Amino acid sequence: MSSETSLILLKPDAIQKNLAGQVLARFQAAGFVIRGIKMMHLSDEILADHYSHIADKPFFPAVRSFMQETPVIALALEGEDVIAAVRDLLGPTDSLAAAPGTIRGDFGFKDGDAKMRNVCHASDSVEAAQAELKRFFKDGEIFAY
């Protein structure tokens, strides 16, 4: 096991449903430490970079529109094997397939937007986390204490 830091984005549906505190509490109850946190509006540029793997797809404008409905909360979350553990806490990307007790199973949309309106984004690898943390946090915004 190793200590890692992951990027978590609390998406607009989490903000709209006032779930930030409950989601943060679950991460902290699992033993993870917040090293950085901020609320921010996402620009077209940051979204095109973050979603570069789908930016040329016909559904990308809907993703961009959704991610700009409200500010998001960006977290730098640290802990032992945090990347895999957070993804387990979240459940599958599709909230309809997420089991009760997971964040997406408990809070995700249960309709046609269940894959997009799924409460959180979380890094899926150490390499992705490193790139994503740099994308969303400036130097000096992630703290060690």
For 26-69, what is the HEC assignment?
A: HHHHCCCEEEEEEEECCCHHHHHHHCCCCCCCCCHHHHHHHHCC
Grade residue 114 by pLDDT with cuts at 50, 70 and 90. confident
Give the mean pLDDT of the chain: 95
Rounded alpha-carbon distances, angstroms, from residue 96 to 79, 88, 100, 116: 28, 15, 10, 11
| pTM metric for this prediction | 0.94
Rounded alpha-carbon distances, angstroms, from residue 44 to 23, 51, 56, 57, 111: 26, 10, 14, 15, 26
Burial class (CB in 10 A: 0-12, 13-18, 19+), 119: buried
Grade residue 2 by pLDDT with cuts at 50, 70 and 90. confident
Grade residue 1 by pLDDT with cuts at 50, 70 and 90. low
pLDDT tens for 55-86 read 999 999 999 999 999 999 999 999 999 999 99
Q: Is 121 a catalytic residue?
A: yes
For domain 3-136, give the CATH superfamily.
Answer: Nucleoside diphosphate kinase-like domain (3.30.70.141)
Q: Measuring CA to CA, which residue among 112, 109, 135 is closest to residue 123? A: 135
How far is CA 83 from its chain centroid?
Answer: 11
Grade residue 115 by pLDDT with cuts at 50, 70 and 90. confident
Mean pLDDT calculated for residue range 87-110: 94
Mean pLDDT calculated for residue range 121-136: 97
Q: Looking at residue 131, what is its pLDDT?
A: 97
| Percentage of the chain lying above the pLDDT 70 cut | 99
